[in-house]
Chains A and B, each alone.
Chain A
Amino acid sequence: KAGVTQTPRYLIKTRGQQVTLSCSPISGHRSVSWYQQTPGQGLQFLFEYFSETQRNKGNFPGRFSGRQFSNSRSEMNVSTLELGDSALYLCASSLASPSRGGETQYFGPGTRLLVL
């Protein structure tokens, strides 16, 4: 079974631009979560989607948004990019929402975003 895939793997943007990242979950997985990883900060939760509905959102500004499609694929968008948005963006999928407990999340390779 194919793992979580993310595109693109690397991206360079300039301040003020916007960016859209894509995530395809493991087949059959309905929950997709997004995380931002910066040096020294660990993984910071952005949002989680289940059956096209956002179930939870982290403490990020409204410039960060996402959506999930009927096939469980997900996109996240960052508008008006800032230098501090440079990070590794990780997508993770699980069979069902973590709210059920016991649901392991499997991560994709990430998208490395550099904002100049």
Chain B
Amino acid sequence: DQQVKQNSPSLSVQEGRISILNCDYTNSMFDYFLWYKKYPAEGPTFLISISSIKDKNEDGRFTVFLNKSAKHLSLHIVPSQPGDSAVYFCAASARGTYKYIFGTGTRLKVLA
């Protein structure tokens, strides 16, 4: 039962263009969402979060959009840089469950 899904295992984008990473969830009780970036042999690095009371959160080049009716969130990276090449995970949490559910990740490759 995969409650959080990242249906694109990989994505290639040209340097300077926009990268859009998508995440879908099934549990309507999720109320907090996180995006992480992960390099090989390292732990995930926190990028940006969004609460279910918002539909957008922005931090520098990173913007997360939340569409609660569609149970969909997306991470936009503008402009994309080669150093952004990594695996990106979305994660969701429901109040009272004391845990995050992670998607399987999307490997982003930014081409110079």
Q: Which of A's residues lie within 8 Å of B, judged by CB?
A: 4, 6, 31, 33, 35, 40-45, 48, 50, 55-56, 58, 90, 92, 97-110, 112
Contact = CB atoms under 8 A, between A and B. Distances in A.
Interface residues of B, number: 26
Given A33-B100, A107-B43, 16 more contacts: A40-B104, A41-B104, A42-B104, A45-B100, A45-B101, A48-B99, A50-B98, A56-B98, A58-B99, A101-B93, A105-B34, A105-B91, A105-B100, A107-B36, A107-B45, A109-B41
18 contacts: A6-B43, A33-B99, A41-B104, A42-B103, A44-B102, A45-B99, A90-B43, A97-B98, A98-B98, A98-B99, A98-B100, A101-B51, A102-B51, A103-B32, A104-B49, A105-B46, A107-B36, A107-B45
Interface string B83-112: 000000101010111111111110000000
